Amino acid sequence: EVGAPALSAAMNGMSSWIIAYGMIGSGKTFSITGTPLDPGICTRLFNDVFERSRSRSCLQCDVTVSVSYFEIHNDKARDLVKGFTPFSSDGREKLTASRTNHELVKGLSEHDMMKFKEAGDSIRKKSFHRLNPRSSRSHTVFSIHFEVAKRGASGRQDRGPACGEVSQGSLHLVDLAGFEDFSESSFGDMEEEQLLETAAINKSIGALRIVLNKLASRQRCHVPYESCLLTKVLQ
């Protein structure tokens, strides 16, 4: 109900977002990632991505899929791909040149894509919190990029501005750090770094809430994407 419409939009040339939001310990990361016995949105989506790609290939379309993964911590981005280079069964490197300052990986299978995300998750910024001993202290954005090119009668891809048969879209899975109510926190036990993290998390989520409310109103007004890095990424 959540992933399928977003994936359809992305494969049809749009930019779609799935955002997991909530307090610390509310199950955001579990909803996105899940477990082997209880798969989350990612596992279901990854399987669907390749099933749909194969279906479109049968309909004379070539689908190129690439992914990127980064985190935002204290309003600064860190690439979670860097240093991770998956290989295909014949040993060919799959890491491509960077785009928009984030590495892209192409040619992945469903299994590769999940391993790729797990590798990024393993270095995501986490720290102890009284509500969660391994609390995520950064927002992560896992992006799946699609390029769909229709093949011509000769079997070759129809590309170029004249044919208008190439579409590009993206699906972004956002796992937000937990929002924290200052009135509920034990600030006397928090170190300066934790206080700064909490303030940055709350500020960025507050900015995101304003942006989403502006977009949902469908009114012609200024949308403050520039408020923080998280909202700039949405633009």
More confident residue, 154 or 1: 1
Contact 33, 101 (CB under 8 A): no
Name the maximum alpha-carbon separation found in the chain: 71
How many distinct structural domains can be found in the chain? Answer: 2
Annotated binding site for ATP: 22-29
Look up the domain containing 210 and give its range: 183-234
| Confidence check: pLDDT of 220 > 80 | yes
Annotated binding site: 22-29
* pLDDT digit string, tens, across residues 134-185: 677 899 999 998 888 876 654 554 554 445 478 899 999 999 988 876 655 5
Contact 210, 190 (CB under 8 A): no
Q: Sign of torsion, CA 28 182 222 74?
A: negative
* pLDDT digit string, tens, across residues 22-52: 887 788 888 888 887 888 888 888 888 888 8
Would you state the structure tokens that stand for residue 3, as one six-digit string?
């992933």
**CB neighbour list of residue 161: distance below 8 Å, 6 or more residues apart:** none
What pLDDT does 102 receive? 54
Q: Which of 130, 150, 175 is the last residue of a domain?
A: 175
What pLDDT does 64 receive? 83
Q: Characterize the bridge pairing of strands 61-73 and 132-136.
A: unpaired
Both 220 and 128 in one domain: the answer is: no
What pLDDT does 207 receive? 94
Place 214 in a pLDDT band, splitting at 50, 70 and 90: very high
Both 195 and 156 in one domain: the answer is: no
Q: Which of 175, 205, 222 is the last residue of a domain?
A: 175
The structure's pTM equals 0.79
What mean pLDDT, rounded, does the chain reach?
77
What pLDDT does 19 receive? 92
Both 62 and 138 in one domain: the answer is: yes
Would you state the structure tokens that stand for residue 213, as one six-digit string?
């409310």
10-21 mean pLDDT = 91
